[in-house]
Amino acid sequence: EPEVTQTPSHQVTQMGQEVILRCVPISNHLYFYWYRQILGQKVEFLVSFYNNEISEKSEIFDDQFSVERPDGSNFTLKIRSTKLEDSAMYFCASSEALRSGETQYFGPGTRLLVL
């Protein structure tokens, strides 16, 4: 069964450093998402992406964040200058379509720790 994959599984970085989290969505999916979960808090939507453009973004997704589809398979989330409060589990997801009730399939997550 096709799966969303994410690398790395864990990343430790120093405050102020740039990090890139990578995701390979399910191959026939066209819509991609990033969510995050700070320890002890709810999962939060960050951004959705389609056709090389951001479709929606939350208030969390400020100028420090960017997303890219650099090639036909990868989907990346870049945090330009990490802050302590960026420490969280980051989940990538993909879906076939963008419509009400469409299932989003999630990867295993990248645990980011900012020191």
Residue 74 binding another protein, by CB under 8 A = no
Helix, strand and coil content of the chain, in percent to the nearest 5, comes to 5, 50, 50
Cβ 12 to another protein shortest distance, Å: 17
Cβ 81 to another protein shortest distance, Å: 26
31 contacts: CB under 8 Å, gap ≥ 6: 48, 49, 50, 55, 94, 95, 96, 97, 98, 102
Residue 4 binding another protein, by CB under 8 A = yes
Phi then psi dihedrals of residue 43, to 5 deg: -65, 135
Residue 12 binding another protein, by CB under 8 A = no
User: Where do we find the tokens 């990343």?
Assistant: 11
Residue 64 binding another protein, by CB under 8 A = no
Interacting residue with another protein among 24, 29, 30, 44 (CB under 8 A): 44
List of residues contacting another protein (CB under 8 A): 4, 6, 31, 33, 35, 42-45, 48, 55-56, 58, 91, 93, 98-109
